[in-house]
Structure 1
């Protein structure tokens, strides 16, 4: 019972037979490679993969790892227990059913190890145990199949070769034909094994890349999160500082105004007293008493005092300019800190080299615009000049670092923008940017977009709206990226290569005009993590 239970552990839960080429999922369960591949293929449309045994969920198609120890155990059990696979028993058992070792085609009987020795002496045709003897006979002559017709690719009997429809055909013995086919199958198996190993290496490489990208994204996320956390802290401190300055000025102004109010209250009381005195004088009937009143002359200085009070009232106002300056200086310091933290600068200054310009394009004095012309410009012929295409290179080359520059393409429906080596051909069919292995470009044609390199196209989706293009170069990383500056900015494609020469900006226009944007020189963007 213990042996039977142990053998059950070697059964694949899908086909219920002993494992064949067993492989293991990440959850730890094992299956025949063919069985689990078939299951995963059916799950592929739903993009959710599950283990048939424990229902563990995998977001990506799981990589199948060969279980070599289990494979060896299953093969050992299969070899020592043939009845496990065939279910065929000896036709001549003595007492109880005995597993068959061979099947005799001559006797049409299955025999065990003991009877097999006798049949060997008779030189009968023995094969692996089977119950399907009808498949081993000729359907026409009902004789054992012994030969293989190479012209019709079918197994035949002796009568077929002598008097049947295969008479005169080139035939081989089954063993010969089988060995030839096995040889072909071994070659196919070797080829498939090599391809599978290459595929496994590719999967492993992509898994490593996925891990690297996840780690990279986590690092950038950590950097950006820390940056925003620091910005919020600085903004909170700036807010406290500005509000404190407002409160300080408010307290000072209110104190000044309170003093002024107190002075005016005193003045108001004085005026009220003088008004009562004057009213009393005005109500006197004795003219001598009115004229002899000594205080009437003091009333003349009221206007001067009021003028002085008006001047005092303009002092101590809230200094909005100082508050604005404090706020502006604080924000400027924060922006400066951000620039240092993520190293952001403007687009690289690109000027066009008229010595490389084709004869049917115009380049105005700012050296940033290219337009096509029907009139031959008759430029002096130089080795650097493009002879057959309306294109031009930049004066500046890039052999290290990170840069980006932008191009307005809204006024041209047939143009190319990109970068190339200075060794690009200047005449001939392969001198167009994108039509050789020394240039890469974004090609716009009839409102469609494609990446072009060495005359090969990578077609971009039809729904791209792109009037302004950004080209970003990371020379050391070997990356050339193209972006559509719509809202929001859209990544179009990134070319990965090992650059072997300096790179020049390259423009080609067949209609309208295109224009380089920006003008400040500087490097590209680089997120720097605090270590």
Structure 2
């Protein structure tokens, strides 16, 4: 037999023939594709060359003896022996028997290689290997038959294959996906079988077994049909979406321009006010400095005059003190001669001192700066009045808006900022009404749909079918505004319901009866629902926050989204109404926003 090896073949197109037919029939023409089919049948699916000592497995597939033995040697021990082609598992290693027919055909091919235009060369099996640790559905991207990089994953066989090993799977029409796709994602969660069908009624992917359950009466089609139909629907909507994008882009540019203008205007106004504040502060500082200078000048003038008067009076006091001392000495002189001798000078001094009796001090005017204080008081009063006017202007603006809403509501453009200040409410959820799959947050503002049932106590107000909850707040008069955050939910209903709306059965769904009004968000689509009537709202974008303005007396519920009115419900509210929430996607959350006036 010579050196152990196999034969790789290269086919060059020669005059057409049929390989294993009668010599007369070989003379008839056949296509070159027939040759390729025969060569594929004589090629080992592991090494991709002509069989060398072909052996057969119980499943019917053949391999080179060396190829299959190396494949099993390198495979995982706990899985037994696996067919590299169909993945059938043999708990015990099967007895390998030579496939005589295939071996004879290969030898026949080698003998007639000259006639068939075939070039045959020997190739060793040293590169035959199975990558260790390989499992279907894993993250590896290597062929599970050889160690080459995988090109696709065969879904029915649950195997990663390179480009060469994909051929038998393609010929059998198996479903092929990218290597990174996990098999679990392509199987039904409930029955663990391949997904092949699509339910139009509830938009779910399903396997064949699912048709016998809750989808028994539903409109079910094959995946390929649903795929084609959905692509057709998307293709029909594509121009509208493109036009809407252009329209929204244009509006967005206008809004951005207006935002920039507003920023510039506000910045300019603030700069102007800062300049005025600087001037006012400068004026106040200069005025106070001038007043202080004037007061200091008057003080110095008066102190100078008072100082002169003090010096004069102090001199007079000293003279009087000396005169009094002389008189005391004269009274003590007992000798008549000496007394009389000094009396002449003493009387003369006393005569000069008698002028003090007629001295009168003219009082200087009191230091008065009340006029300057009055000027400062007027400036302070002016500033206080200015601040009061600003505050009063804001209040008067809100009062005018409220008066306009009362007298001419149809002429007033509703502004959410004004509505928040005038009528803002922060509803809280009523746990007694929550469906058992609705989880309520501790602050009673968030409702989340869970897979498991929560332990809510039995209560007549509890929703038994619909995953809904209502607010504790009931409105039976007046105007009220609240906001709801739906950014964490892709399918929900939000609105109001009468307090008398039923809580049991399927007809208790928001918008499906005469006692409730709501907006429904289903992915990127919006609709307004009431009494089982649905009005589609052509509003592009994924809305995350909605506002609701309830005017109970006029019977109107105005719905806002992205600072604009989306829809206005008009009805006759005979009973108190409550804000209400319904969450229809697993794990989705809806939140009442806390509004601070």
TM-score by length of 1: 0.38
TM-score by length of 2: 0.34
Higher RCO, Cα 8 Å, sep 6+? 1
